[in-house]
Amino acid sequence: MIWKKGWWETRWLFLVGLAAMFLMFTLTFVAEYDPQNWAARLDRSAGLSESERGVLSSFQGRMWALWFKSLLNFIWTDYAVVMGAMCLMTVCPWMPSQSAAGFFTLSLPVSRRRIIFSQALVGLGEISLVALSAPIILPLIARFHGQWYSWKDALIYTLMMILGGVVFFCFTFLLTIILSNYIFAFVLMEAVIFALFLPFQSLGARPWWNIMGVVAGESYFFRGQISWLGLSLSLILSAIFLFTAVRIYERREL
């Protein structure tokens, strides 16, 4: 099965991503929660409104700001870009140093469309599984500190992160096929991510058009509203990028 081949070739990237996630969770376990230090940090944040400062002042606000606003917003997005580029390494014979593996894949009795869709689904499944470790672990971290964190909220933030951030995976997927070089695609996407983080807002809400705000679940945290428009745009663009990648892959000359 093609999907098994895709899993076998990307399993180490998946395991490394999962291990890195659990390492960050472990560091959070041992970090002591100090309400006074957290309140002082909020007071030093010049860009926050009074309403934002009030919502962020709780333990739940600190957990969201630490994970979904900061760490996962950056690290998981980078991980999606890495997977979008690397999961194509052995299915494109026109990539540098990948001709033998790519020709072997294309020699299998399956269509190119099935090959490329299988690679995309495997990559999307792996980044989703890594993200889903958050709603399982974060409420346990809260219990460890004698606090409470909603399983429902953690799951909603995670789903928004996956559905909003899938566009980074699909765009990297497309660029890798267009450029025929996963390194160039990765560097270009890192530049895009860096630009989206500017101007850097460590705690405050980003502009409505910034996809990073959708990935972080800012509208749900600050206003209790899911950004359906942002999620819809992300999924529509992801489908366009993936379909375009499939068409280019089918028509590419060997």
User: Tell me, what's the pLDDT at 103?
Assistant: 42
Query: What does the pLDDT look like over 160-202, one tens digit per residue?
Result: 999 999 999 999 999 988 888 888 888 999 999 988 887 666 6
CA distances from residue 146 to 33, 66, 139 in whole angstroms, order as listed: 10, 18, 11
pTM for the whole thing? 0.86
Tell me the average pLDDT across 53-76.
86
CA dihedral 74, 80, 81, 84 (to 10 degrees): 180
For residues 16 and 10, the model is more confident at 16
Domain spans, the chain: 2-251
Residue 132 has pLDDT above 70, yes or no: yes
Q: Which of 182, 220, 216 is nearest to 197 (CA)?
A: 216
Q: Which residues contact 234 (CB under 8 A, 6 or more apart)?
A: 163, 164, 165, 166, 167, 211, 214
Radius of gyration, CA atoms only, the chain? 20
Under the banding of pLDDT at 50, 70 and 90, the label for residue 101 is: very low
pLDDT at 222 over 80: yes
